Amino acid sequence: MADLTLEIINDKDLLKLFNELIPKVQNRIIQGGYKQAGKIINDQAKSNLLGVRKNKSKTGYKGFNSIFKTNSLRKPTIGAKVGLSSKVGYKYRFQNFGTEDRQYKTSTGKMHKTGKISATHFFDDAVKQKKDEALRSVNQAITNSMNKTVRKYNK
């Protein structure tokens, strides 16, 4: 069996290494940590939506895997925005928040009712369920991102 050396880095050493990096790499490390923590909320929202969606939907749930996004916030703030994408996700926002009774006037002057969408709050519930877990995992995610960067530059 080959000899294996293991170097344990404590928080002071990690902070010292972090301060030695250029700001661009520091921001990349922090953003990577926030994205990993935001993925926890997205995964819960996805499972909540799978539980409430109906079988005979007119939308067909197209683009289901691409609607949940975790975007990095750029300067002047650092963080991540967790939510539904705007390209396909706008349909799912209607399902999350619901709508009132919708109607429009036809050419004959009659009102045509198109119905309403009842709110399921699948995303709001996911945030309530996993917010604390995501906040606790931010530090661990940033540490993992830092270790990945250190390994990358030590090659």
- Encode pLDDT of 63-78 as tens digits: 666 777 777 776 666 7
pTM over 0.85: no
- Among residues 148, 150, 136, 122, which one has the least CA distance to residue 37? 136
Note down the domain range covering 49.
Answer: 11-153
In a domain, 82, yes or no: yes
In a domain, 41, yes or no: yes
In a domain, 48, yes or no: yes
pLDDT per residue as tens digits for the range 28-72: 888 888 888 888 888 898 888 877 766 555 556 666 667 777 777
In a domain, 5, yes or no: no
In a domain, 6, yes or no: no
Upstream peptide bond of 23 is cis (omega within 30 degrees of 0) = no
Count of structural domains, the chain: 1
In a domain, 34, yes or no: yes
